[in-house]
Chain A
Amino acid sequence: MSIQTAMPTSMIPGNSVIHRIHPVPKILWIVIYVILAFTTQNIFILYGMALFAVAMALLGGVFRPLLKAAYLIVPVGSSLIALQVLGPAADKPWTVLAEVGFVTLYGDGFYYALVLLGRIVSSMLLSLVMVMTTHPSDLFLAFSKLKVPYTFNFMLAMTLQLIPVFQREVGLVLSAQKSRGMKGSGFAAVLPSFVPVFVGAIERVQQLSVSLESRGFGSSGDKTSYRQVAVRIQDWVYGIGGATVMIGLMVYSIMQPGLWNLSDMISFSPRTVLISFGVSVTIFGSVILGATFLSFRKS
């Protein structure tokens, strides 16, 4: 997997039901999604949210590009599970599962690893689906309707628009360096690849700022937009309906004792935890060793 294809963060054109939703409900969904994800410790809610995001991706026709982002979850998830089993983010005393030499493995951390992973997965997937189904200019317009300061709004929109440009730039730089015999992966590729990209980014930003100022950026008064997105009744339904479901879920699980955190109700067998730990350590170790091997391999 090349660097430039690792994170699909630009809009993928389409006319699906998700594409047609007004950006404001989408922003609202993301905000409440992130709040819910980072407050609840109920893994059923968290992974239900992740599944909902996947359903959104399927509806929006952006499932395949979203899968590319899922590659990133593998090393993150495996490192989380491995580290949490070694040192849980739970109150002591911890349940000892096994002792391998001087290393002690704890059962309590496995649940919290799944919670942390669920938070990352659900928030990331929904945010990516929304970014991939929303035109940056529409997002800009939505933020301006939400009275977000113009400069901040512009910075956000420009960042989103520049990401694919930089991804393309990384591809070009890698091609240029590989043409000079450089290995295309590993730590050895980092310096020759990223210096030109950083320098290019700085130059681009400098030119952009001059160009913006010369075209009246920063002048006072109301700003107009080429693109206009009308708010339809469905958008109100999506926005208010989605927000109500998520806030309701939040309130319900807080009010029902035990629903907010299921760590006392769910227990994993030592065998499950140990196998998961073994698999996670293997994956995480392979990623690290693979990267190190590629760095030192002679071309």
Chain B
Amino acid sequence: MARRGKHAFPSQIETDLAVKMDGAHYVYPNGQVVALSGVDLEVKKGELLGVIGQNGSGKTTLTKLLNRLLKPTSGTVYVNGLLTTDRTVQEMSAHVGYVFQNPNHQLFARTVKDELEFGPRNIGTPEEEIAQRVAAAVEFFDLAAFIEEHPYRVSFPIRKLVGIASVVTMKPSIIILDEPSTGQDHQTTRIINSLMRRLAEDGTTVICVSHDMPLLAEVVERVIVMRNTEIIADASPREVFADQQLMLTTNLQAPQITNIALETVYPLGGPIALTPEELAADIASRLEKGKR
């Protein structure tokens, strides 16, 4: 339901973009901490976007503006063409799913199944569809063995998957993952990796805030770099991670493989590797050429 706000901005705009942010500025209520300074950002529907930056650079504030957990102090934030300031968090939750870093902050139900049904019920999804979505999530996340378990009785990696699945069952058109791989084992990280790809294939916009550079290098197609509450770079992961000056000024670390490639094969020419597979293929091809 579109509502007329008290400001000059239209409550709804025609746009093909998932996110359109113009001059978004956020100052914490005490008025002393500026968390975001005039950020402009456009994210296409179905895009896989990574957000990186040091702690306190404004990454979480940026993403919390999208589902209206925070309201910009000035500037506008449109999500799916809707002005977020005119909506409640509950209204925005049908559009933007937010997976918090710590699953313990959201799990409360008596069983994993109840937990997966909580979100869709809140946004008024019909019962039949809830059952279908839960079944699909259980299959994808391999949760069948835990469906009747209490969420706090399963291991932490499984709990993390339950937390993500409980947002995925709401089928939002945009999903924000805050540090999805922190503290996770290899298998869970692989599941998260394929989840992100699959969501994007299905047309969901995925925004991943992470310090896990290898994960981002492997999955996302675009990276924005934040520093001191501003976006200072916006490019493909290959361009961002190859920019050693950028990594240095932001105190970020490119994936180890990229660093090895930069120090060894890159000076000889050719593309920069982001994954072990790419580097192995590059070396193999150079060796092959050398033999010839």
Residue numbers of A with Cβ under 8 A of B are: 169, 172-173, 175-184, 191-193, 195-196, 199-200, 203, 299
Contacts and interface: CB of A to CB of B under 8 A. Distances in A.
A196 B105 CA distance: 6
Contacts of A199: 104, 152
A47 B55 CA distance: 48
B69 interface: yes
A184 B89 contact: yes
B98 A179 contact: yes
Contacts of B104: 196, 199-200, 203
Given A175-B69, A176-B100, A183 B90 contact: yes
Contacts of B124: 299
Contacts of B279: none
Nearest to A5: B29
* Shortest Cβ-Cβ A-B pairs, 3 listed: A181-B122, A195-B108, A176-B106
Contacts, number: 71
Contacts of B69: 175, 178-179
Given A178-B69, A179-B97, A180-B119, A196 B90 contact: no
Contacts of A175: 64, 69, 89, 100
Interface of B: 64, 67, 69, 89-90, 93-94, 96-98, 100, 102, 104-108, 118-119, 122-124, 152, 166-167, 170
B75 to A, nearest CB: 21
Given A192-B118, A199-B152, A299-B122, A178 B107 contact: no
B107 A181 contact: no
B122 A179 contact: no
B93 A178 contact: yes
A181 B105 contact: no
B100 A181 contact: no
A213 to B, nearest CB: 23
Nearest to B152: A199
A196 B118 contact: no
B152 A179 contact: no
A196 B107 contact: yes
B108 A180 contact: no
Nearest to A199: B152
B233 to A, nearest CB: 28
A155 B250 CA distance: 41
Contacts of B152: 199
A40 to B, nearest CB: 39
B124 to A, nearest CB: 8
B106 A178 contact: no
A119 B93 CA distance: 45
A83 to B, nearest CB: 34
Contacts of A176: 98, 100, 105-106
Given A175-B69, A192-B118, A199-B152, A180 B93 contact: yes
B79 to A, nearest CB: 13
A181 B123 contact: yes
A169 B123 CA distance: 24
A189 to B, nearest CB: 11
Contacts of A196: 104-108
A299 B106 contact: no
Q: Which of A175, A180, A299 has the most CB of B within 10 A?
A: A180
Given A173-B106, A180-B166, 16 more contacts: A176-B100, A176-B105, A176-B106, A179-B69, A179-B89, A179-B96, A179-B98, A179-B100, A179-B167, A181-B94, A182-B90, A182-B122, A184-B90, A193-B108, A199-B104, A200-B105
B106 A177 contact: yes
A173 B118 contact: no
A8 to B, nearest CB: 13
A181 B170 contact: yes
Nearest to A183: B90
A182 B107 CA distance: 13
Given A176-B100, A192-B118, A299-B122, A181 B106 contact: no
Contacts of B93: 178-181
5 contacts: A176-B98, A177-B106, A178-B93, A180-B106, A184-B89
A215 B264 CA distance: 46
A193 B104 CA distance: 11
A193 B97 CA distance: 18
Nearest to B89: A178
Nearest to B107: A196
A160 B94 CA distance: 38
A176 B69 CA distance: 9
A199 B131 CA distance: 28
Given A172-B100, A192-B118, A178 B90 contact: yes
